[in-house]
């Protein structure tokens, strides 16, 4: 009897809560890295483009190419491909630490593109106002590009967080822990339907909350 | 004042601006008109140095902006305020914050900035909207804020790039009135780039017509509309399409040559020539110098010698030409739709 192996409902939370914590930790660490590196990368991609503050065809083309590279591989393939690099950086290829590297590598170019798109949405005259008023490049970035694109960037952020929750589940395959690991190991491989259902419910809830919260923030930032 | 000399801009082999010259004095509004693609926006972007001209000079208060280094240029820019097309306000800043923005880029103290923002908002009649966001303001109100922002650094030149595009006629009129008021009170030199002929007629002191990157016609607005039948003159004072274009007997084209034409000319000429005169089409307006400008198509009903008719009108300050409206292919261009023309019609006039 398959259902007989299911963890009793009362025992689900003792497995689920630590997994939730691990997912949160992974996504949290990855998102900090993604914002810290993806934001400048997105600014660089936009500002080296013909519409940017310091257009530079070669630089733009090369960064753009690298960013596309990071986004063109399915996450599972990317994760396997960068194993040597992961080993080099965190000195292990399993667990949460190992998952952070491929997740960041996938998340940074994704976020960079979202930032670039958000800035590109700003009409040209608004971007020109800064230059025409005698602002420096950094002043334009700070007071106009980032300020005006903030709602778009926040929207991108919630999109990115959701993508990273999904990737963290895939990273469960290399023993990264978290909800994905729990769902695969208990729910899928051991036919533990209680764990499976709980993981699904929690994941759906988290994604809904992130999206709802993100939309609320975007609305409050938009005038 | 601003003096542009031999300004040329090329993108590769494409010449967008070809040796453009013009000068605008303090307290003058100079309009630059032309169809889209004539180089107007490139000219605007060259004047405020958003684009570097290929050659030529832009003198503002005696300083050549094209010869400055990047750093010097940053501070020299404040001599030129720019009013962009509507919708150039930062959406996430309030009206007051938008006006303050250019001052934040310089080391201007907070208290000084606050005082100046108040003064500017008051000047454009928007003090009561200081804490509103652009999305809460109408197009005209947004453009008033845009004007205040353009004036924030006390520029000697104000570049207005299509400042009324997208505004309804009433709002356009109020913005132009404000622009004229700022010209008179602040003695600022205004370069007004537009494709709307009504705007030029209502507010500009002088007008230059840009065609394929070259200024092919210019002069004071009064002079252009009163003393010539050029393409620009007819675009400034257009007759409605369909008005007696064919050469009917007795059809005359009239143009006011003087600002003080007696409005009763129709009756008095008819009486002098002992004939009825039918008005077929016409546009008579008071232009910025306070005088009248007009263009009227009439039919003189009694057969008369052409010289006699011409003299009767001439004595009243009206230039008369026999025949239909001078042929303009595709009819009379409406405001903003001056059509490309063959080179032989490109009449080059210079300011008197």
pLDDT in tens, B187-202: 999 999 998 888 888 8
Pairing of strands B14-24, B2-11: antiparallel
Nearest to A223 among B78, B135, B152 (CB): B135
pLDDT at B233 > cutoff 50: yes
Q: Highest-confidence range of A173-182, B267-276, B279-288, by mean pLDDT?
A: B267-276
Provide the 10 A C-beta neighbour count for residue A221: 15
Q: Which of A94-98, A141-145, A203-207, B189-193 has the lowest mean pLDDT?
A: A94-98
Residue in B closest to A128 by C-alpha: B50
- Looking at residue B243, what is its pLDDT? 55
User: Percentage of residues in chain B with pLDDT exceeding 70?
Assistant: 89
C-alpha–C-alpha distance, residues A90 and B246, integer Å: 88
Do B45 and B51 meet the contact criterion of CB atoms below 8 Å apart?
yes
Q: What is the edge-to-edge ordering of all strands in the sheet holding B214-220?
A: B80-83, B157-161, B189-194, B29-33, B206-211, B214-220
- Looking at residue B350, what is its pLDDT? 36
pLDDT tens track for A13-44? 888 888 899 899 999 999 999 999 999 999 99
Interface test with B, best of A129, A138, A218 (most B CBs within 10 A): A129
* Alpha carbon of A152: minimum distance to chain B alpha carbons (Å): 12
Residues of B in contact with A129 (CB under 8 A): 82, 84, 88, 90, 101, 149
Residues of B in contact with A131 (CB under 8 A): 50
Answer whether A217 touches B (CB < 8 Å). no
Work out the pLDDT band at A103, boundaries 50, 70, 90: very high
- ipTM of this predicted structure: 0.81
The answer to whether B102 contacts A128, with C-beta atoms less than 8 Å apart, is no
Work out the pLDDT band at B228, boundaries 50, 70, 90: confident
Q: What pairs with residue B3 in β-bridges?
A: B23, B59
pLDDT tens track for A67-86? 888 788 888 888 888 989 98
pLDDT tens track for B36-90? 888 888 998 898 888 889 999 999 888 888 888 888 888 888 889 999 886 689 9
The answer to whether B82 contacts A132, with C-beta atoms less than 8 Å apart, is yes
Q: Which of B64-73, B137-146, B299-308 has the lowest mean pLDDT?
A: B64-73
pLDDT at B118 > cutoff 60: yes
Pairing of strands B318-322, B251-256: antiparallel
Interface list for A 175-194 with B (CB within 8 A): none
C-alpha–C-alpha distance, residues B23 and B60, integer Å: 10
The answer to whether B75 contacts A134, with C-beta atoms less than 8 Å apart, is yes
Q: Which of A167, A198, A201, A210 has its CA nearest to residue A14? A: A198
The answer to whether B87 contacts A123, with C-beta atoms less than 8 Å apart, is yes
Concatenated DSSP letters for B44-62? HHHHTTSS--SEEEEEETT
Answer whether A138 touches B (CB < 8 Å). no
C-alpha–C-alpha distance, residues A186 and A19, integer Å: 12
- Looking at residue B341, what is its pLDDT? 38
* Alpha carbon of A206: minimum distance to chain B alpha carbons (Å): 30
**DSSP assigned state of B78:** G
Pairing of strands B2-11, B63-64: unpaired
What are the C-alpha distances in Å from A140 to residues A33, A127, A136, A146, B102? 24, 8, 6, 9, 11
Q: Which of B103, B101, B141, B146 has its CA nearest to residue B125? A: B141
Run of H or E residues at B251: strand B251-256
Q: Could you tell me how many residues make up chain A?
A: 223
Q: What is the mean pLDDT of residues B173-195?
A: 91
Work out the pLDDT band at A151, boundaries 50, 70, 90: very high
Q: What is the mean pLDDT of residues B299-320?
A: 92
The answer to whether A125 contacts B84, with C-beta atoms less than 8 Å apart, is yes
Residue in A closest to B150 by C-alpha: A133
Q: Where are the alpha helices (DSSP H) in A91-190?
A: 95-120, 124-132, 137-140, 147-170, 178-182
Do B130 and B104 meet the contact criterion of CB atoms below 8 Å apart?
no
Work out the pLDDT band at B348, boundaries 50, 70, 90: very low
The answer to whether A139 contacts B105, with C-beta atoms less than 8 Å apart, is yes
Q: Which of B245, B257, B269, B256 has its CA nearest to residue B323? A: B245
Residue A71 has phi, psi (to 5 degrees) of -100, -10
- Looking at residue B347, what is its pLDDT? 38
Q: Highest-confidence range of A81-90, A151-160, B159-168, B288-297, by mean pLDDT?
A: A151-160
Q: Could you tell me how many residues make up chain B?
A: 352
Q: Which of B20-34, B135-149, B225-239 has the lowest mean pLDDT?
A: B225-239
Chain B residues whose C-beta is within 8 A of a chain A C-beta are 48, 50, 74-75, 77-78, 80, 82, 84-85, 87-93, 101-102, 104-106, 133-136, 149, 152-153
The answer to whether A129 contacts B88, with C-beta atoms less than 8 Å apart, is yes
Work out the pLDDT band at B244, boundaries 50, 70, 90: low
Q: Highest-confidence range of B73-77, B219-223, B265-269, by mean pLDDT?
A: B265-269
C-alpha–C-alpha distance, residues B36 and B336, integer Å: 9
Cα dihedral B224, B227, B229, B235, rounded to 10, equals 30
Do A42 and A112 meet the contact criterion of CB atoms below 8 Å apart?
yes
The answer to whether A147 contacts B93, with C-beta atoms less than 8 Å apart, is yes
C-alpha–C-alpha distance, residues A19 and A17, integer Å: 5
The answer to whether A128 contacts B84, with C-beta atoms less than 8 Å apart, is yes
C-alpha–C-alpha distance, residues B102 and A145, integer Å: 15
* Alpha carbon of A143: minimum distance to chain B alpha carbons (Å): 8
- Looking at residue A195, what is its pLDDT? 86
Do B190 and B29 meet the contact criterion of CB atoms below 8 Å apart?
yes
C-alpha–C-alpha distance, residues B163 and B70, integer Å: 27
C-alpha–C-alpha distance, residues B254 and B326, integer Å: 12
C-alpha–C-alpha distance, residues B141 and B123, integer Å: 13
Nearest to A148 among B50, B92, B149 (CB): B92
Run of H or E residues at B300: strand B292-300
pLDDT, averaged across chain A: 89
The answer to whether B134 contacts A223, with C-beta atoms less than 8 Å apart, is yes
Coil, strand or helix at B112: helix
Answer whether A130 touches B (CB < 8 Å). yes
pTM of the full predicted structure? 0.80
Residues of B in contact with A143 (CB under 8 A): 101, 104-105
- Looking at residue B336, what is its pLDDT? 42
Q: What is the mean pLDDT of residues B256-275?
A: 92
The answer to whether B92 contacts A221, with C-beta atoms less than 8 Å apart, is yes
- Looking at residue B240, what is its pLDDT? 65
């Amino acid at each position: 009897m398959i259902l007989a192996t299911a963890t009793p409902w009362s025992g689900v939370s003792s497995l689920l809560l630590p997994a939730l914590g691990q997912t949160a930790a992974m996504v949290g660490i990855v998102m900090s890295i993604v914002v810290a590196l993806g934001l400048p990368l997105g600014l660089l991609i936009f500002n080296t483009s013909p519409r940017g503050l310091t257009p530079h065809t070669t630089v733009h083309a090369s960064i753009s190419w690298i960013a596309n590279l990071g986004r063109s591989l399915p996450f599972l393939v990317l994760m396997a491909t960068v194993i040597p690099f992961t080993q080099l950086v965190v000195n292990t290829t399993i667990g949460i630490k190992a998952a952070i590297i491929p997740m960041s590598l996938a998340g940074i170019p994704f976020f960079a593109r979202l930032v670039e798109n958000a800035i590109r949405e700003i009409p040209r005259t608004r971007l020109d106002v800064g230059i025409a008023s005698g602002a420096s490049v950094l002043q334009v970035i700070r007071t106009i590009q980032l300020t005006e694109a903030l709602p778009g960037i926040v929207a991108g952020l919630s999109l990115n967080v959701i993508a990273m929750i999904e990737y963290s589940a895939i990273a469960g395959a290399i023993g990264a822990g978290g909800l994905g690991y729990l769902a695969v190991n208990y729910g899928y491989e051991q036919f533990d339907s209680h764990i499976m259902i709980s993981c699904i419910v929690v994941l759906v809830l988290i994604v809904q909350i992130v999206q709802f919260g993100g939309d609320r923030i975007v609305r409050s930032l938009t005038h | 004042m601003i003096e542009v000399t031999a300004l040329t801009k090329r993108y590769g082999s494409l010449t967008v601006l070809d040796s453009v010259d013009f000068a605008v004095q303090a307290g003058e509004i100079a309009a630059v008109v032309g169809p889209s693609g004539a180089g107007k926006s490139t000219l605007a972007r060259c004047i405020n140095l958003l684009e570097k001209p290929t050659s030529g000079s832009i003198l503002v208060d005696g300083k050549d902006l094209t010869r400055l280094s990047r750093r010097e240029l940053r501070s020299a820019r404040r001599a030129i305020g720019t009013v962009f097309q509507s919708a150039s306000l930062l959406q996430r800043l309030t009206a007051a914050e938008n006006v303050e923005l250019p001052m934040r880029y310089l080391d201007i103290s907070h208290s000084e900035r606050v005082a100046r923002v108040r003064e500017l908002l008051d000047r454009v009649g928007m003090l009561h909207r200081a804490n509103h966001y652009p999305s809460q303001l109408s197009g005209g109100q947004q453009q008033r804020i845009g004007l205040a922002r353009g004036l924030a650094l006390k520029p000697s030149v104000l570049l207005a790039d299509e400042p009324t595009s997208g505004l309804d006629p009433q709002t356009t009129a109020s913005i132009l009135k404000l622009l004229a008021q700022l010209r008179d009170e602040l003695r600022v030199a205004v370069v007004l780039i537009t494709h709307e002929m009504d705007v030029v007629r209502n507010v500009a002191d002088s007008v230059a017509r840009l065609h394929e990157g070259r200024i092919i016609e210019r002069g004071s607005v009064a002079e252009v509309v009163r003393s010539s039948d050029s393409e620009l003159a007819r675009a400034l004072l257009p007759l409605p399409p369909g008005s007696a274009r064919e050469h009917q007997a007795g059809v005359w084209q009239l143009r006011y040559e003087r600002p003080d034409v007696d409005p009763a000319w129709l009756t008095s000429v008819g009486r002098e020539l002992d004939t009825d005169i039918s008005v077929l089409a016409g546009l008579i307006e008071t232009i910025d110098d306070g005088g009248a400008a007009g263009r009227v198509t009439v039919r003189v009903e009694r057969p008369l010698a052409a010289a006699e008719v011409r003299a009767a009108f001439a004595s009243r300050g009206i230039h008369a030409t026999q025949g239909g409206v001078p042929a303009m292919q595709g009819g009379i261009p409406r405001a903003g739709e001056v059509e490309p023309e063959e080179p032989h019609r490109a009449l080059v006039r210079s300011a008197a």
